[in-house]
Amino acid sequence: MSPAGQAPPASPAGARATSRDVARAAGVSQATVSLVLGEKWRGRVSERTAGAVRAAADRLGYRPNLAARNLRLGRTRTALLVVPALTNEFFARVYTGAAQVAAENGFGVVLYPSPEGVGPARDPFGSARAALDGVIASSMAADALAAMRGGGLPLVMLDSDPADAAAAATVNLDIAGGMRRVAEHLLALGHRRLVHLASAVDSWTFRVRAAALAEALRAAPDAAVRREPAELSVDAGRQAAERALSRPGPRPTALLCDDDILAAGACKAVRRLGLRVPEDVSVTGFDDLALATALEPELTTVRLPAEEVGARGMTALLAVLDGRPAEGEAVPVRLIPRGSTAPPPPA
133 and 77 Cβ atoms separated by less than 8 Å: yes
Show the domain range for 272.
175-303
Residue 289 in domain: yes
The model's pLDDT over 338-347, given as tens digits with 9 standing for 90+, comes to: 999 999 998 7
Total domains in the fold of the chain: 3
Residue 343 lies in a domain: no
Residues of the chain with pLDDT under 50: 1-14, 66-74, 127-128
Q: What DSSP character marks residue 30?
A: H
CA distance 292 to 290: 5
Supply the CATH number for residue 241's domain: 3.40.50.2300
304-338 pLDDT, tens digit each: 999 999 999 999 999 998 888 888 789 999 999 99
Predicted TM-score (pTM) above 0.85:
no
**Cβ 64 vs Cβ 37: under 8 Å:** yes
Cα separation, 182 vs 262, whole angstroms: 15
- The reported pLDDT for the residue numbered 146 is 65
Both 185 and 270 in one domain: the answer is: yes
- Secondary structure letter of residue 145 according to DSSP: G
- Are residues 151 and 92 both part of a single domain? yes
Instruction: Kindly report, residue by residue over 220-252, the tens digit of the pLDDT.
Output: 999 999 999 999 999 999 999 999 999 999 999
On whether both 168 and 313 belong to a single domain, the answer is yes
165 and 179 fall within a common domain: no
